[in-house]
Structure 1
């Protein structure tokens, strides 16, 4: 009975060691992939989130101003057409 328990104990220790080795290899592979991704994306010219948000805000402000100018132009055109219709 003692030999069976020893066999299972040794087997459990071996499997525990194997699981630790596999987990370590997985962590190492993940770290290497991160480094490769950093190297790949680091060479590209991306904008920061702050720059993106600033440009987005400027575009929204420009759209708002364009809408206001269009409304003013429409009002002036309507006034002009009313004036021309009154003179004719």
Structure 2
């Protein structure tokens, strides 16, 4: 169904062009706003969500490793306290040296 009125054809073309311009202007405004928000976030030293998620995963892995090490430590034999109860060996004096006496 083609319109015979050239005014309506021109009006439709104009409306279509105006919508295209409005779409482009909206995209430009969105890009400018995002750039400004990124600058503000950088000034405030904020962290991006993807960096935060990576850090959360690293923390969870480290917590699991600590739990495993604690379990391994509690399952290990208690040999350390027995070794600590032995008396310490006396220091050997080098040959030719006399041990220090109280009056010197």
TM-score over 0.5 (shorter chain): yes
3-state SS of paired residue (2:5): helix
Unaligned runs of 5+ in 2: 79-104
Figure out how many residues of one structure are paired with residues of the other and give that number.
Answer: 72
Cα gap change, 1:45/1:66 in structure 2, threshold over 3 Å: closer, same or farther? farther
* TM-score, normalised by the number of residues in structure 2: 0.52
More helix by share: 1
Distance 2:28 2:20 in 1: 12
Unaligned runs of 5+ in 1: 77-88
Q: Normalised by the size of structure 1, how large is the TM-score? A: 0.60
Rounded to whole Å, the distance in 2 between the matches of 1:71 and 1:30 is 59
Larger RCO of the pair (alpha carbons < 8 Å, separation 6+): 2
| 1:27 CA displacement | 0.5
Sort the Cα spacing of 1:23 and 1:49 in 2 relative to 1 into closer, same or farther, 3 A.
Answer: same
**2:65 aligned partner:** 61
